[in-house]
Structure 1
């Protein structure tokens, strides 16, 4: 969601947007809390796929429980909120919808493809772009039609995950296979790019799960905004309370069980329970922000700055992690392999600090992040020059 969308809303909406910026900042930093463990695998993504981590340390499992899938799901919900805001803006201006939105999705897909090839094997932007085209045609439909889509796609997705999980649980584990991938595979950036091209289907297989899951979460985010979940009202407070009960009171304890239940529960642990936990986080953070009447403190300002530059911070955090962890950079993943899990926490904290400072400084001059500016120029070239001059 851009600053232009923020300005387009009425005064009450601005307070809701403020909470969304903070939520988005938390989601971006939280997503890196999950991705940092992937960058910290000596040898990179191929070693991770080959089981290079070996048996998982219980301390690391507990730390990864805090982030695995939850903040990505939160980011997905917020993407749906942003899509709803764009739909509202189009309706308010009398513009057809989805109109040129597929072009916006195409630009996002292209950015995701470049990000995948040059930076990170587990990019989510491509999946978001594909999903957003479908949801753009659904967001303006009647509530009954949207509920039908959510129930149908959700049922198919849940059924697929449960069937795959049952197969994993019922299939006896074979003997451990020796690691066939050289841990020094990240010594060359060009070799990594070549691997991403060669193993495109392997690295992009997650899109099969991302698209149906994101379809439901986009629509849930859209409907939460319509229902007033972000408003400082009794209705909004009631919605947030229910979200916290479901997400933090029910789903999170179950997520603890699946985390320590073994590798066979990986799909449930990452794709089924975390979205429910994310709803609880959304309710909790929004309630805190809505109830706060004080001037923005440094932490809240920093999170909001990251939220306003979410796309740029998402890419930058992965660029920094690659340069720090891989062999063609500082090679910290191999150098500190015996210091897991604690050095990974330092990696996360250091990169997050850079993002907060960089986003805050950037927004003193511009009203959106650098990649957001590029997308705006490509999507709305006639208005881009005016927006870039603000600040």
Structure 2
């Protein structure tokens, strides 16, 4: 009995007492999120050019393949990452309770640091930053995570219901509107030819380029709280209750969410909001259940693939920024300009780009963790957030 219990514990936890399924899930979510962002980097006109072309209609085989690839990743791994952020918030709340520390205590400082890191990431690297939205959301949810089940359930139902209604209403308007025949002015390689020019555009068009936060934050509030409650419900535990919960999430994610998401993904740009924000969280819940179930069944020592994903998960913040920085250097005109050079090879070369950047991320994470217990940005956040120690001991 003791041997069986220790085996279960070993399967659930990685070095340092961390829940290994969480680290593995974060690694999957980080690399999967880049599977969405890579299409923005790989367009010759950068993100602006991508979204302009996105409203067009696919005509050739390669374009249909690209849509299929985007359907595989669009929104699903970002939703998974968002749910996991809520799980992490719950773990910090429970840790504070065990230590007898008031909550949220200094957590708003942590949320503020994350927001500022997001601002820097947005201005210096990538228009599609999600850290700013996470910083704002975590500040809000920190005051909700310790409330009663009734309060959190009410917040989820009200915010989630209003959000879904808004998305469906806007989608209905887009579907029913007449087609617009005016051709937009093309966005070409000049948009990414200069890093200072990109920085200037991001700074001057801050409100417009960050408008997505309006869509991300309400959804993230729901998914943060959902992640918190799933942790309490035992979704990561190797128990009968956890198994039943994971089975329900598998059905919800892959029997309900995935077919609907594939349908909307191939239904044209009018369904963008449903395709990116409404259905992917269902698929993300299925992914969470699947990876967790497989992790609990794997009692042996992690192989190279699983170890690499776990390493990325333990350095998630650093790897998220690193993969976007690498993609910018490789794709943009001020870097190697691969997006323009391989414009005629879409989407085939994009798969190779995703694989290459992912391997670099894994190699970096594995090498870094041989010397440190956190990623570089995680260490920076920890040093800024951790309370200053005095000479007095408790």
**TM value normalised by structure 2:** 0.92
Distance between the aligned counterparts of 1:136 and 1:381, measured in 2?
18
Query: Where do residues 37-48 of structure 1 align in structure 2 (5 Å cutoff)?
Result: 37-48=39-50
Aligned to 1:252: 258
Name the SS for the 1:50 alignment partner.
helix
The answer for the alignment partner of 2:13 in structure 1 is: 14
8 Å Cα contact 1:98-1:136 kept in structure 2: yes
Conserved 8 A contact 2:12-2:295:
no
With 171-180 and 99-108 compared, the bigger mean Cα shift is at 171-180
Unaligned runs of 5+ in 2: 1-8, 390-394
Q: How big is each residue's C-alpha offset from its partner over 1:49-82, in whole Å with a ceiling of 9 and x where there is no partner?
A: 4337843311111111110000000000000000
Between the aligned partners of 1:248 and 1:228, the Cα distance in structure 2 is 21
Indicate whether 1:201 and 2:207 are aligned: yes
Note if 1:367 corresponds to 2:373.
yes
RMSD: 1.5
Aligned length: 374
Deviations 1:261-304 (A, max 9, x none): 11111100010110000000000000000111111111110000
Post-superposition offset of 1:200: 1.2
Q: Does structure 1 residue 131 correspond to structure 2 residue 137?
A: yes
Gaps of 5+ in 1: 1-9, 384-391
- The correspondence of residues 79-228 of structure 1 with structure 2, limited to 5 A, is 79-228=85-234
SS at match of 2:189: coil
Match in the other structure for 2:27: 25
Per-residue deviation, residues 192-230 of structure 1 (Å, max 9, x unmatched):
000101221221111011000000000000000000000
Contact 2:44 2:188 in 1 (8 A): no
What CA distance in whole angstroms lies between the structure 2 residues aligned with 1:382 and 1:255?
Answer: 48
Q: CA deviation at 1:244?
A: 0.4
Shift of 1:158: 0.2
- CA deviation after TM superposition for structure 1 residue 124, in Å: 0.2
When normalised by structure 1's length, the TM-score is: 0.93
The reply to whether residue 340 of structure 1 matches residue 342 of structure 2 is no
SS in 2 for 1:231: coil
CA contact (8 A) 2:11 2:299 kept: no
CA distance in 2, matches of 1:300, 1:225: 22
